[in-house]
């Protein structure tokens, strides 16, 4: 049976995690990096669900720490927008989440992903 898939869409500057960091996770973690979380669109989140992700975590820099000032806040709005679509098609909107993580702190990023994975897998 295939491992469940979790997608993480993140600002490139939040971490430098590699597959090695997730090797012990009970699921497949797909990391997609963006120049800034503000460039993550609602459709990017939905397309992960279309590609069978069980959850999508969007990671932006901590509030007031975004290099582009408000990219992370924009990402938060996009997650909110995506939740609305998910709800309307019968997918638990909690399966899409926004997280604000420290810049270039891979440890904190991996912990955030781990927490999200636990929440999603508990829904099974």
Which residues contact another protein by CB under 8 A?
41-43, 46-47, 49-50, 85, 88-91
Greatest Cα-to-Cα distance within the chain, rounded to the nearest angstrom? 43
Instruction: Please give the sequence-ordered ranges of beta strands (E in DSSP) within the chain, or none if there are none.
Output: 5-11, 28-34, 53-61, 96-101
Contact (CB, 8 A) for 54 and 26: no
User: Measured from the CB atom, is 17 or 79 closer to another protein?
Assistant: 79
CB of 58 to another protein, least distance (A): 15
At closest approach, how far in Å is the CB of 13 from another protein? 25
Whole-number minimum distance, CB 90 to another protein, in Å? 7
Structure tokens at 56: 């999508």
């Amino acid at each position: 049976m295939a491992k469940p898939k979790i997608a993480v869409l993140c600002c490139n500057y939040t971490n430098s995690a590699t597959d090695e960091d997730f090797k012990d996770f009970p699921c497949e973690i797909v990391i997609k990096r963006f120049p800034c979380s503000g460039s993550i669109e609602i459709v990017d989140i939905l397309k992960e669900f279309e590609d069978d992700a069980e959850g999508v975590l969007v990671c932006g820099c901590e509030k007031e720490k975004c290099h582009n000032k408000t990219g992370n806040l924009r990402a938060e709005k996009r997650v909110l927008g995506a939740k609305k679509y998910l709800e309307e098609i019968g997918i638990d909107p909690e399966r899409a989440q926004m997280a604000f993580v420290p810049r270039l702190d891979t440890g904190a990023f991996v912990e955030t992903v781990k927490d999200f994975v636990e929440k999603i897998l508990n829904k099974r």
